[in-house]
Each structure stands twice: as C-alpha cells, then as structure tokens.
Structure 1
C-alpha cells in the first residue's frame, strides 16, 4: 500500500503541481486547506487528476491539525503567508508560518510512528547577496531581511530541532501558471539587474514528491531551475511579459539600488546537490515561456490588443515612475 501523505497548502501554486505529481504516482493524499469558495472550486477541478481526501481547516488551530495529521506517513508542508501579505500583515505571517509549523510538528511528535516532515522554505533566508560571488551555496550565512524570510528561518529551526526525520526545500523564484494582469507590487521592488533563478512550479512538485522516497534525511536543499534558468530580472520580465502578450515596462518603473541592502533577496543558487538527490530539473526558462505562449495563445492575442492600456496602468502603479 502506498504511503499516506498530508499536503498543506495543496491548492496553491506549488501545491497543485505537487498534488498532481503525487496522484500520478498513486500516493494516498489528504489535502489540508482553508475552506473558501476559491479552494472549493479548485478542489473539484483537481479531482479530475485522481482521488484524494480534503480536510478543511486552519494550521493555526491545533484541533484541526490533530485531525488532519492522524495516520499520515509523510507531511509535505507548503502552506504559508508570502509577500506582499506577509509584509503588510506580519502578525498573520508569524501565526501561520511559524506557529502553524509548530502545531504540525507538535502533532506529528505525538503519533505512534512519527512521519517524515518535508518543509517548503525559501532562498530568501539568505537576504540580499548581489554583493557576493554567485551562486549562493548552503554554507552562506542566513540573513533574513523581511518578515517572510524571518518566519522561514524560525520555521526551519522548529523542524530541525523537532526530533523528526526531516527535509527542507528552499525554493527560488517559482513560475506562475495562469494569466495575470493585476501584478504583485513586488514587481517594482526587484532591480532590473538583479540575478534571479527561475524554477518551474511543475519541477517543484516533482522535487517534493521525490523527497518522499529519498533515503537521505535531515538535509536542506536549494531548489532552482539550474543554469538554463539563471537570468537577470530584466531578462526574466521581458520573457514573462512577452509570454502573456505584454510589452516590457520602462526602466523608470523599477527600483534602482544604491547599496548592497537595496537588492532583493533572490539570486542564482547552487543546485548541484538538490538535482543529484531529487532529480527534478526538467524545464528551462525558454521552454516555460514557449509552453505558456501555446497554453494561452488565444487569450494572449486578446491581451495584446489592450496591452498599451495595461502597460500604462502598470507604469502608473509603480512608486518609482
């Protein structure tokens, strides 16, 4: 019988791709998610990929967590408050990202047979590293620079000190899989010459799924797309905007760093060990762009027709233009 998996944050971007990969390999999956209209619709759509259970609840509620975790062999913990919400509501980020992780760990320790704990973290824990020689390796010192990265450092510590068998996967810049015109305000905060490592969300799903059968435990991995995904933010945005039928924004819309701390907390990373262990890198940035163009070819044509209006609106939203 296949192992029983608890997947938190199952209906998010990486969660959906992880769920699909788990179902493809016929794992017994229980999704633990907040109950809302959007998640209920996503659940019905995702059931087309195979059968899974859903427990509606909140990881900040210990009773919900105890109910969800019972009888599970593995926990893949993806649920988190991410930027920009983590920065505008730090109390919520602390409650979900730190205390939610603690609730899961505490519940796991009470089970007769302790499950393996696989935590999603972020390379943001290293802080800005543009003044250092790339790629970022695991022996770089932790230097969290915002609420989100601080909560991830705390969550990692909870997992490492839990006494459970664990793996921590620190994700780089993960792809989106749906057309979006209402862009995140963080868009403007990443300087155009920023080094950025892209990774396809589908490849993240493979990494988390492969972590289940990995014999090596109590390790931390950096998850990125590899050399074919190492870009500057300028290169990334030009490709990304083109994929969705939009023109590149002018330089004046983006932050211009004046010191080492003005750069964003992303960079190129060393994925040699993670790829060797988890064998997940399949899609380069160029391949992702071509796939998105094909997937949304009709909507892309429609967006192109209104692209001058969208560009004007996006430039107006920038605090720098």
Structure 2
C-alpha cells in the first residue's frame, strides 16, 4: 500500500530543497509548498525535471491564509508534515509583528488543518538553538541537552518557543528538531547587511555548533518513517564533534573557503565572562539521542568547508586569494573603526548592539507578545 504523502513547508529553501530531493529519491510523494518567488520557482522546476522514483506536487501557499492551508491539507491528506517555513532572524528583527504572524500564526493554521484529518499526521518542526538564548560558556560549560530549559533572548527564539507550545498543545504526534548553525553554499551566498550585523554582534569566543545542511535534510527525511520512536521528543540536530567550534573559528573557516583567508581573533570582540546576557546563541549540543534515533551525521567539518569552497566560482576564488593579503588587514581595520564609531566597549555585548540597530522589538518579551 502506498504511504501517505509528505507535506513540506518552505520546501525550496536551504534545507527544504534537500529534504524534498531525498524523499523523492526514496519514492515518496512530496507535496512541496513555498511562497511564489522567482528563486523558489527556479528551484521547484529544477527538482521537477530531475528523474526520481517519487512524485513531486508543487504548490504555492501562504501559511497566513487559513482557508488555503486547510484546503491544501484536506486535498493531499499528508501522513507527515515537515514544517520548515519561517521568517528567520535577523530579517525578522525588522518586522517582529509580521514574523510573529508567520512563525506562530502560520504554525497555528497548519496545526488546525492537521487536526481535521481522520488520521493525525506526524508534525516535524524545524526549531532552533535560538530557544536557548544567551549561553555564557564560563558559567554554562556543559553541553545543551533536550532537558536544557528554554530561555529565548531574541524575538526569533521566542517565536520558536511559542510555535513549539502551539504544537505541543495540539495533541498531534510531533517532534521538535532544534537546529544548530546550518551551513551550506547557500549560507555564504545569502549573506546581506542584516547578517553582517549579527556576525559582528556575536562574541568571537561564543560557542557555535554547526551542521551540514545535507545532514539536516537527512535527519528530517529519516524522521518521516520513525513516528513511534520520535513522537514527543526534542531532538538536537548538529554535526559530530568536529563541528563544535567558536564563532571566530567558523567565520574564519568560511572566509578561508571563500578565498579571503582567516581574519584572526582581532576581528571579533570577546564575550564578557561575568555577563550572562553578553553572549549569543548557540552553545554546543549533545546530539547523542538524536543521532541514535535519526542516524543523520554523515559529514565531517572539513567536508562541509570543502563543499562550500567548491561552490565558489573559480575566478572569484582566485581573485580573492590573490587580493587576500590586502583584504584581510583592510577588513580588520574597517571592523575596528566601526566598533569605535559605535562606541563599543571591550566586550561584544551583542544584544545591546542588536537593540540599538533594530530597536527593543528585536528582543524577547517576558509576556510573549509583540507591540501591535
């Protein structure tokens, strides 16, 4: 008997397109939905043209349209819903009201639609390390586990906590896959001025547990057939121990992959060991249970770096390697000058910088609401 379709929201993004491809290669029927944009259409067309044993049904749906979501779910009757769609930080800091509607309200619409089906679908939710908020490694040296309390410090992390609560209260079978720092060639290609602010705000010695986007996709794809073993669980999705680095190490590795070379410790401010709010997410994850259940860690850190480097156009990489000895000191000088203009002190103090750039709306609120 043919298994029920898998519905994927955000199906053509960094993780979604890889989950979609994996499931199609395994013979699944995938109902892939996303917003209608030029890049989404191009990705959808590319996936549709590739010969696969599975069946791809592409739709374009707005999760804020409750009636459209209900119609989509009713038509396709998915056995599993992989919910990847979201408005991500730091773009979400610019419009937290819209982000709340998408990240929480959109999840509510999806849950309500799932509750109407005769057989409850398994809901696999892409959550985030942002739910854990600021992690001072001097006071919290242990790894994050599924039992670590959530304490979001920014609007995006708070959205994820609220969305998780919606799903928990729904009664639907579910699992939360809380993702570390997802890395792929898309990561460097998608960097904009907002991302640069977040990068500059993060302490250089902040812990960052990365994960290859291909391994994240594998975690979701493997979860589809493991409802009984993962139902109700929080699963921490990050790479093996080769991916546990500091922010400075990861950023320098990306710069090296691009051809610029490593900027070194002077390019970042450190975190304040005495200030628990003076750090960014993430910490390092204990992925033992997630790996045992989902068997997703297929790559090592050098493989991810090589993958990202290989995606750079050869001529661009050659040019950056040639100019790197001049670019690196210029970038360090520019960063130091920018810190001086912003009157930043000896420590990174990331959330003060974020709030000064985007307003206090970028930070989490104790009452879990945003201003109307």
Compute the TM-score of the two structures, normalised by the length of structure 2: 0.81
Question: How far apart are the structure 1 equivalents of 2:328 and 2:36?
Answer: 33
Alignment correspondent of 1:109? 115
Q: Structure 1, residues 189-213: CA drift from partner, whole Å, max 9, x if none?
A: 1111111101000000000011111
Please, which moves more after superposition, 139-148 or 44-53? 44-53
Alignment correspondent of 1:146? 154
Among candidates 147, 161, 180, match of residue 189 of structure 2: 180
Among candidates 201, 209, 226, match of residue 221 of structure 2: 209
Contact 2:35–2:61 (CA under 8 A) maintained in structure 1: yes
Question: How far apart are the structure 2 equivalents of 1:181 and 1:226?
Answer: 25
Q: 1:315 to 1:81 in 2, by over 3 A?
A: farther
Alignment of 1:54-65 (within 5 A): 54-65=58-69
Question: How far apart are the structure 1 equivalents of 2:191 and 2:213?
Answer: 20
Alignment of 1:118-267 (within 5 A): 118-130=124-136, 131-178=139-186, 179-180=188-189, 182-183=191-192, 184=195, 185-214=197-226, 215-216=228-229, 217-249=231-263, 251-258=265-272, 259-267=275-283
Alignment of 1:65-76 (within 5 A): 65-70=69-74, 71-76=77-82
Q: For residue 313 of structure 1, report the CA deviation from its aligned partner.
A: 6.3
Alignment correspondent of 1:42? 43
Question: How far apart are the structure 2 equivalents of 1:315 and 1:173?
Answer: 27
Q: For residue 305 of structure 1, report the CA deviation from its aligned partner.
A: 4.1
Contact 2:185–2:311 (CA under 8 A) maintained in structure 1: no
Alignment correspondent of 2:339? 320
Question: How far apart are the structure 2 equivalents of 1:145 and 1:207?
Answer: 27
Q: 1:56 to 1:186 in 2, by over 3 A?
A: same
Q: Structure 1, residues 1-35: CA drift from partner, whole Å, max 9, x if none?
A: 13301100111111111111111111100111111
Tell me the SS of whatever aligns to 1:320: helix
Among candidates 106, 130, 154, match of residue 100 of structure 1: 106
Q: 1:47 to 1:309 in 2, by over 3 A?
A: farther
Q: Structure 1, residues 148-177: CA drift from partner, whole Å, max 9, x if none?
A: 000000000111111111111000000022
Question: How far apart are the structure 2 equivalents of 1:316 and 1:108?
Answer: 51
Q: For residue 253 of structure 1, report the CA deviation from its aligned partner.
A: 4.3
Unaligned runs of 5+ in 2: 341-372
Superposed CA RMSD in Å reads 2.1
Unaligned runs of 5+ in 1: none
Question: How far apart are the structure 2 equivalents of 1:255 and 1:162?
Answer: 43
Compute the TM-score of the two structures, normalised by the length of structure 1: 0.93
Q: For residue 315 of structure 1, report the CA deviation from its aligned partner.
A: 6.3
Question: How far apart are the structure 2 equivalents of 1:62 and 1:248?
Answer: 48
Q: Structure 1, residues 50-108: CA drift from partner, whole Å, max 9, x if none?
A: 44111112101112211221211110000011111111211111000000000000010
Contact 2:185–2:307 (CA under 8 A) maintained in structure 1: no
Question: How far apart are the structure 2 equivalents of 1:311 and 1:120?
Answer: 39
Contact 2:86–2:102 (CA under 8 A) maintained in structure 1: yes
Q: Structure 1, residues 88-139: CA drift from partner, whole Å, max 9, x if none?
A: 2111110000000000000100112221111010121111122302211122
Contact 1:94–1:151 (CA under 8 A) maintained in structure 2: yes
Q: For residue 309 of structure 1, report the CA deviation from its aligned partner.
A: 5.3
Contact 1:7–1:31 (CA under 8 A) maintained in structure 2: yes
Alignment correspondent of 2:368? none
Tell me the SS of whatever aligns to 1:124: helix
Which has the greater radius of gyration? Answer: 2
Alignment correspondent of 1:8? 9
Alignment correspondent of 2:363? none
